[in-house]
Every structure is written in C-alpha cells, then in structure tokens.
Amino acid sequence: MAVTKIWPVKGRLDHSIDYAMNPEKTDAAIRKPDLNSLEDVMNYAVNEKKTEKKFYVSGVNCNPAIARQQFQTVKTQFGKEGGIIAYHGYQSFAEGEVTPQQAHEIGVEMAKQIWGEGYQVVVATHLNTKCLHNHFVVNSVSFLDGKRCRQKQWTDISKINDEICSRYQLDVVERHGKSLPYQLAKAEREGAPTRLNIAREAVEAVLSVSCNLRELKYHLSAMGYICQFDENRKYWTIQQKDWKRPIRLIRMGEEYSNDQIRQRLRNNPPEVRHRMLHLAERKHYRRSYSAGLRKTSRHRKISGLRGLYYHYCYLLGYMPKRNLKPYQVSPALRDDLLKLNELSMEVRLLQEHRIDDLQQLFDYRKTMYEKVFMTEAEIRKIRNLKTRRSTTTLQKTELQSEIEKLREELKNSRWQVIICDRIYSRSQRMKEKLREVEKSGKHRNLAEKNRGD
C-alpha cells in the first residue's frame, strides 16, 4: 500500500543550502523545518545518491534540469514571489511492493492527475531506503493564470492515490468515513493501544450488557466517556474529558453505525443482561500464599522516581498481577497507554542507572550533556585531519569509520539527554494525575457507600 503526505515550503529563493550534501541529514526521515527554501527542496528531491543518478526524475509541465529557474520565472511573471513558494510531498510504498520503474510511473501519473492541468511538478523516485518513495515538488503558482495552489486541494490526494494503486493491483488502506492517519492505521493493524481501539473495546464490552441507549450511555459514562447518542444525530460520538474532539462510532467499523447499535441492543435478552451485569460487578479476590520468608529477607521497597514510574505502570495494567484491559484503566491515565514505548525507555533508564530522585537525574543529564560536547569536539578534530592534503585514501577511510562510531555515540548521548528531560516533565504530570485518580476514587467510594445506605 502507498501512503502520502504533503506540506508547504516557505523561505527565500536565494537562500542556497545544499541540504542533500549535509552528512548529518542523510537519513530517510524528512522533517518540515529542514527544507526552508526552493533550492533546498530541489536539491533533496533530485539528489543523485538517492535517485540512481537522476534516472528516476521527471518533470510535469517543466524540465527537471532547470525546474527551479522555471518556477522562479512563473512567480516573477505574476508577481507572486513571497509566501508559500512550493509544496513538498511524498508517496511511500511498502518494502518489496513495487519496482523502481513502477514506483516512478505511479508517481508521475499521480502528479499529472492532481496538478497536471496548471502547475509545474518535479517527480523524483528515491531508491536509498528499503521502502521506495516518490518526492513531489510543486510550484505554488500556476503557469496558466497565476492562481495559487491552495491547501484545501490536498484532501483529495489520498483518494486519487488509492485509485491509482488499485489500478496497479496494490494494497489500499481500508477507510471508514474520514481516513485514518498512517501511524494510526499502522497501530490499528499491529494491535497497539490507540484511542480508537481502546474506545472500541469499551463500547463492545458495554453493548453486551445493555438493552437500550440509556443503559449504554450509563455504562460508558461510568468508564469516563462523554456520550452523544441523540436520536436526531447522524453520527453518535463518544469522548473523554481530555480529548480535543470526540470520536464517531462509525469510525470503529460499519457494525458500530447507529442502526447496527440499535439492532444489537434489541437483540440482548434481559436475563442475559442481568447475569452479565452481576458477573461484572462481582469482586474477585486473589488467594494469597505465604512463602515462609522472614521479614528481614523481604525485598526493599522502591521509592522516588523509580517507585513513581513502577506504580504508574501498575495502574496502567502493565506490571505483574495487574493485567487490566485498556478500557478498565482510570480515564485520567488512559491517554498514557498511547505512550507505552516512551514510558518503557524512561523506566529502563531509571532502572539501569538506579536513579531515585531529581538530583541524581540532573547529575546523569549533566554527564551526558558534557559527553555530547566532548564527542562533537572529537568529531571536528578528526574531520580536520581527514581534510588535510597529506592524508592518504586509506587513512581517510579509517578516519571516516571512526567518525561513524563517534556519531553513534553522539546520537545515543543526545537521546539520553532527551529522555532525562522527558522524565522530569512527565514525573510532574504523573503526580498530578495520581492525585486526580485518588480524588476520583474517594468520590466513587463515597457514592457507593451512600447508595448502599
């Protein structure tokens, strides 16, 4: 399957930075702030090291060899040299899905179909990664009438991309209603926690114990969801307090449409509902066994930052004897289920270096920060040796190998600094959320006690 993305490029046309020749930016990831000018984008897109000596570079309504000058001529002709100077996009294919020639053909066809009627486009197919991908550089000004290319036109890109891929018999991402972002769709396929599948599990759990919309809304509200199940609404939605916008149930699948939910509620017999509610409310007690250990041989209780993180992971259901389902996690903590990879890295750092308080964290961060400066100085020193005329080819190869090793160390040290900063900021938020969980737990216990009285 092919995925696409596009964004505007702003900057000065005379701001020449040979982005492609920068050795620190030769990875496949492209970040928006890195390409600030038209020449930056052009150099990156048609880099010979990525496009097999420009064999897979084509122009739509322009000559790729002089495309930048042609872009500038159009802008000057219509007096529109400022603002957004171009659009830069990509179309990426799965590993082994297409050949370089097929990838380039698809890219050119897509560029012609979307922008071919009035805009100049450079299409370049990069072969430097396992996943072949096309880059599009689009002039923001039309050569026909001088009209600007507007952001709203990109909403149709995914649809056109899917149509072209279908003609080439490639896989297409299935979409329900509004299309899912690539990262979300990937997480859905891998079963990783996302807001969508956590909400889906919650809805599925309460659908089997409800016979009408009022009961369904009651059970979801108890899980921390705000529901909009009005009969006159075209799409029913649920939302947690911290979310910026609600989720339409139809995004979970066709079986969660308004009519399908009504049908499932009608099909639930009352006796099954009452039995399942009884089982859900029963408290299960784990039988405990004594290991015969003396008090002096018990493990020392972990406190401080490590203890905070362990307790937090326990409440998220990712610690021993706490195998919670995502929708059973407290609503105040539920969004952190989406950040389990980050939490895992932070816990690992705290455990490996036995960091229990902020002072130890700051000391370790300072050590890593100093290591970053030392490694950068060492790399500069070796580069100076490499550029000397007296240095032989063999010596240059050895120096380059040493530089690569130092770069790996530099990357690791910088990453350690970033994780330390994340631990500091996240630990403060953790304490606030734990206070909120404790407060909501007290209110819930008091309400249950009053209801029992």
User: Domain boundaries in the chain?
Assistant: 2-173, 192-281, 305-452
Instruction: Report CA 44 to chain centroid distance, whole Å.
Output: 24
What pLDDT, on the 0 to 100 scale, is given for residue 286?
A: 39
**Token code pair at residue 330:** 């407290």
What pLDDT, on the 0 to 100 scale, is given for residue 50?
A: 59
Tell me which DSSP letter residue 141 carries.
Answer: B
Strands (E), 73-205: 84-93, 121-126, 133-139
pLDDT in single tens digits along all 453 residues of the chain: 566 666 777 764 433 223 322 333 333 333 443 444 666 666 666 665 655 555 688 999 999 888 888 999 999 999 998 888 888 888 888 888 888 899 999 999 999 998 888 999 999 888 877 788 898 888 999 999 999 887 655 557 778 888 888 888 887 765 544 555 556 666 666 667 788 888 888 888 888 888 888 888 888 888 888 898 888 888 899 988 878 888 898 888 888 888 988 888 888 776 655 544 444 444 444 343 333 434 444 556 777 888 888 888 888 887 766 677 777 888 888 888 888 888 989 999 999 999 999 999 999 999 999 999 999 999 999 988 888 888 888 888 899 899 999 999 999 999 999 999 999 999 998 998 888 888 776 555 555 555 555
What is the C-alpha to C-alpha distance for residues 393 and 151, in angstroms, rounded to an integer? 50
CA distances from 382 to 387, 391, 396, 405, 407 (A): 9, 11, 10, 12, 12
What pLDDT, on the 0 to 100 scale, is given for residue 197?
A: 81
Per-residue b or e along 212-229, where b marks 16 or more CB atoms closer than 10 Å to that residue's CB: ebebbbebbeebbbebeb
Cα–Cα nearest to 153, from 87, 90, 76, 104: 87
Pick the CATH number of 2-173 from 3.40.570.10, 1.10.1040.10, 3.30.930.30, 3.40.109.10: 3.30.930.30
Q: Give the three-state DSSP class for 321.
A: coil
What is the C-alpha to C-alpha distance for residues 444 and 13, in angstroms, rounded to an integer? 62
CA atoms within 13 A on the CB side of 326: 21
What pLDDT, on the 0 to 100 scale, is given for residue 338?
A: 81
At 231, give phi and psi (nearest 5°): -60, -30
Could you tell me if 97 and 104 are in contact, meaning their C-beta atoms sit under 8 angstroms apart? no
